Amino acid sequence: MRVEITVNGQPHSREIEPRLLLVHFLRDTLSLTGTHVGCDTSSCGACTVLLDGEAVKSCTVLAAQADGCAVTTVEGLAGADGLSPVQQGFRQCHGLQCGFCTPGMVMAATALLAEQPDPTEQEIRNGLKGNMCRCTGYQMIVESVQWAAANGGAK
């Protein structure tokens, strides 16, 4: 089947299998490899992207379901040389180590700040509970989001 999906502002028209997962469409078909796969049960959130502005786990969306939609991945968060406040926050506050959860975490945090520009610590922890991290113990991720909230928010 043919789908038309806008990714990071760029329209793409592709012939795909109906069973193709959105995460594989992004990674394998479009070579946008920032979005990662960490599990097979929709638990880890490493594949989180924005689908028409809403955070979704792209391992649990068929590419076919994104037909006609706009997808934002970590590669599309900032301009060519700039970084979004959330991306800056993660670097400022050491909110990443191996970097594998980071793209999904950054996308989830971006969606969170769009909804709640000034979240409490508990709201941040609650807002990111769909995203697992094995390296940071989460605290500096919380601080990264707080930094972003104070420095421009969701962008």
Partner 1 sequence: MSFGRMHRKEDARFIRGRGTYVDDVKLPGMLHGAVLRSPYAHARIVSIDTSAAEAHPKVRAVITGATLGGLNLAWMPTLSNDVQAVLATDKVRFQGQEVAFVVAEDRYAARDALELIEVEYEPLDAVIDARTALDDGAPVIRDDLEGKADNHIFDWQAGDKARTDELFERAEVTVAQDMIYPRVHPAPLETCGAVADFDKVTGKLTVWCGTQAPHAHRTLYAMVAGLPEHKIRVISPDIGGGFGGKVGIYPGYVCAIVGSIVTGRSVKWMEDRSENLMSTSFARDYHMRGEIAADRDGRIRAIRVKVLADHGAFNGTAQPTKFPAGFFHVFTGSYDLEAAHCEVTGVYTNKAPGGVAYACSFRITEAVYLVERLMDVLAAELGVDPAELRMRNLLEPDQFPYTSPTGWEYDSGDYPRALRLALDMAGYDELRAEQAAKRARGELMGIGISFFTEAVGAGPRKHMDILGLGMADGAELRVHPTGKAVLRVSCQSQGQGHETTFAQIVGQELGIPADDVEVVHGDTDQTPFGLGTYGSRSTPVSGAATAVVARKVRDRAKLVAAAMLEASPDDLEWQEGRWSVVGDPSTGKSLAEIALAAHSNLELPEGVEGHLDAVTVYNPPNLTYPFGAYICVVDVDPGTGQVKVRRFVAVDDCGVRINPMIVEGQVHGGLADGVGMALMQVMAFDEDGNHLGASFMDYLLPTSMECPSWELGETVSPSPFHPIGAKGVGESATVGSPAAVVNAVVDALAPYGIRHADMPLTPANVWRTIEGRPF
- Give the residues lining the site for partner 1 (CB under 8 A): 17, 19-20, 24, 27-28, 31-41, 43-44, 46, 73-75, 78, 83, 87, 90-92, 94, 96-103, 106, 121, 124-126, 128-142
What span, in angstroms and rounded, lies between the C-alpha atoms of 152 and 131?
A: 22
Q: Are strands 2-7 and 48-51 parallel, antiparallel or unpaired?
A: unpaired
CB of 23 to partner 1, least distance (A): 11
Q: Which residue lies nearer to partner 1 by CB, 117 or 126? A: 126
Smaller CB separation from partner 1, 61 or 68? 61
Phi, psi (deg, nearest 5) at residue 56: -135, 155
Q: How far is the CB of 117 from partner 1 (least distance, A)?
A: 19
Please identify, using beta-carbon distances, which residue of 36 and 69 lies nearer to partner 1: 36
DSSP string, 35-96: S----SSS-S-TTEEEETTEEEEGGGSBGGGGTT-EEE-GGGSS-SS---HHHHHHHHTT--
Closest to partner 1 by CB, 69 vs 90, is: 90
